[in-house]
Amino acid sequence: MPFKSLDELRAACLDLPAGSDAAAKAVASRQDTLTKPQGSLGRLETIAAWLARWQGRDMPRLDRVKVFVFAGNHGVTAQGVSAYPSEVTVQMVANFAGGGAAINQLARIAGAELDVIPLDLDHPTGDFTVTPAMDEKAFLAAVSAGYEAVAKDLDLVCFGEMGIGNTTPAAAISAALFGGGAEKWTGRGTGVDDAGLKRKVVAIEAGLKRHAAALADPLGIAAALGGRELAAIFGATLAARHLGIPVLLDGFVCTAAAAPLARLHPTGLSHTIAAHVSAESGHRSLLEALGLPPLLDLGMRLGEGSGACLAINIVRSALECHARMASFAEAGVSEK
């Protein structure tokens, strides 16, 4: 386990390598020579430079792209915050293994490997309305599991999640990090009715009140209000930064899981792009708070890394244009 204490983890979060300005500038310079008006490919051009910056290569590559789906169960489901029972988490992990979920299809079409990592599904986290979701040991174990999952030979990673009830800890973490109260961040998740939505708000308010002493520390927030899969996504996002691997963030839960890193370090999420904005009501506000404009807005709210996986195709398109377009000189096209 790479992190044996919160102090060790905090030190790792504060010691983040910067990207390569030289590689990003090289890509931007090449973009300006290609057979198009400068800037006419919009974000495709900046995506190519982003890949270069965080891979540290003048010519980025996407030979190995991987989607990680972390799965965890949540004690707060006892408060009636989800439309589905918690056993669905285990059932969906089996569905992933059998190739039957949306993420299996999206990963295949995007040319990405898929790795599903269940995290102690037989032991849900604590119900954060009455106890911390995780003590320090459990939190560090989940963070470490995510950190160790990411191999240094990957060119791009996406993180997704599966965990019945996990939009509730995502909303709680968002409220704790950025304020505004529970209602601002709480949506219907898997499709709860009005009564279920009210139960979510009440549970989050109770969690914020009970753990008020932890709310000054982003790591304390993640442990007290989060979940194992959220902690693993945090650890994996940190590992990607240390290894020079760019990250596509998925929906509300994934973004909330990574958000504490942005509060610990001013450039904590600079190596990430928000793949999409989900239909879950708090996600747009969270992306705005983090300064992460989404690539896609398709009304999705599935999780599993599905939106991030769709965005792989956009990143591949950006790289193909950068690498394969002819320059004005090569094509014999007159410049402006």
Which helix H or strand E contains 160, and what residues bound it? Answer: strand 156-162
Paired with 34 in beta bridges are 327
Partners of 67 in beta bridges: 114, 158
Q: Which of 161, 229, 280, 304 is catalytic?
A: 304
- CB contact at 8 A, 53 and 24: yes
Estimate the crossing angle of helix 218-225 against helix 6-14, to 10 degrees. Answer: 130
Contact 167, 76 (CB under 8 A): no
Contact between 90 and 77 under an 8 Å Cβ cutoff? The reply is no
Is 129 in contact with 208 (CB distance < 8 Å)? Answer: no
Distance CA 271, CA 292 (A): 11
320 is catalytic: no
User: How far from the centroid of its chain's Cα atoms is residue 319's Cα?
Assistant: 21
Q: Find, among 153, 306, 315, 163, the residue nearest to 232 by Cα.
A: 163
Cα–Cα dist 299/276, whole Å: 9
CB 238 within 8 A of CB 244: no
Distance in angstroms (rounded) separating the CA atoms of residues 28 and 17: 21
Given a contact cutoff of 8 angstroms between Cβ atoms, the answer to whether 181 and 206 are in contact is no
Active site residues: 304
